[in-house]
A = this chain, B = another copy of it.
Amino acid sequence: MMRSIFFILLFIAICVPCQDLFAQSASKPRYILAIHGGAGTILKKNMTVEMEKEYTNTLKLALSKGYEALKAGKSSVEAIAQTITILEDSPLFNAGKGAVFTNDGKNELDASIMDGANLKAGAVAGVTTIKNPIKAAIAVMQHSEHVMMVGAGAAQFAKSQHLEIVDPSYFWTKARWDALQKAKARDKERAELDHNANHTAIPEVYKDEKFGTVGCVALDRQGNLAAGTSTGGMTNKKFGRVGDAPIIGAGTYANNQSVAVSCTGWGEFFIRSVAAYQVSARMLYAKQSVEEAARGVIDEIGKMGGDGGLIALDKDGKLIMPFNTEGMYRGSVAEDGTISVEIYK
């Protein structure tokens, strides 16, 4: 009698979570591509109707380009190249054309890619003349023995690969130039404050100078996952600072056994927590779902004092886009072509 009750209870314990799982996977579509355009203090009250429309339209255009590529049977890496190129060519996002300025008035760009099929990866950092850094990262992955190239050497390689090289002035935009002047004025003020009061807290206004990155994750018809990230870095950055975007494991990671991840946010925290790869490690080693794993990483970054978000697409087409900021430009496209775009929490 007792034994029968035990087996009935055991059966219930096993099957109830299973039912939940089936219910969930039946109701949710299978996603094949997702993008982000940066996370930060994005508030509806600060956004005009026109700006919101511009952002939304560009995100939709990028998603549809990626969808077309995947539908045509192209690889997830190729779909990411086409998607991120749209975002890099737009002045709206802090990547490519819209890159922010460093302290000495330059635009230094970083990008990376990882192919989940073979764990190959490519990255460039601190490049100033490559029109589309994501294409350079892909060329490093596909046509060199290396994973990461920086500075003038990376540009020389891109040139040898017949990628489009532009004059550094191509990256000049009025909005980003004005942002640098504002940041410098605040920096001066902060230096004076530091001198007078020896305070170490970073005022809220500076925080968003750290944000803005674009990224894409994709799952192609062959079942291959890939992830790519591109950024113009941090407004007013000094000392050749490099964030998480070009770091494999931190800003970008993809593995067919688990998940494709692209991150955006306060890069230093994403490097220290090896954020993108940590999502995969939690799934592979702790057997967490993509939801648990991705939220776990963002929670951990929050506890460390950092902020930002990530997009994670697992091998079964499950998508999660957690962030702990006010907003994150993000969008997704499902297998049936349904496109959705969101900005705020």
Contact = CB atoms under 8 A, between A and B. Distances in A.
Contact of A150 (B151, B157, B267): B151
A35 interface: no
Interface centre among A119, A126, A239 (most CB of B within 10 A): A239
A274 interface: yes
Contacts of A282: 281, 285
A248 interface: yes
Given A150-B150, A281-B278, A285-B286, A272 B239 contact: no
A255 to B, nearest CB: 10
A77 interface: no
A144 interface: yes
B268 A149 contact: no
A156 interface: yes
A249 interface: yes
A146 B147 CA distance: 22
Interface string A70-108: 000000000000000000000000000000000000000
A147 B240 contact: no
Contact of A151 (B240, B267, B272): B240
Interface in A223-277: 238-243, 247-250, 253, 267-268, 271-274, 277
A282 B145 CA distance: 28
Given A249-B274, A281-B278, A239 B156 contact: yes
Interface of A: 114, 119-121, 125-126, 144-154, 156-157, 202, 238-243, 247-250, 253, 267-268, 271-274, 277-278, 281-282, 284-286, 304
Interface centre among A114, A144, A240, A273 (most CB of B within 10 A): A240
Given A156-B239, A241-B153, A271 B249 contact: yes
22 contacts: A119-B304, A121-B272, A145-B202, A146-B239, A146-B241, A147-B268, A148-B241, A148-B243, A148-B271, A150-B150, A150-B242, A153-B238, A153-B240, A153-B241, A154-B239, A157-B238, A247-B249, A248-B274, A249-B277, A274-B274, A281-B281, A281-B285
Contacts of A150: 125-126, 150-151, 240, 242
B152 A240 contact: yes
A268 B119 contact: no
Contacts of A149: 239-242
A280 to B, nearest CB: 9
Contacts of A114: 272
Contacts of A153: 238-241
B119 A272 contact: yes
Contacts of A152: 240
A197 to B, nearest CB: 18
Contact of A249 (B238, B250, B284): B250
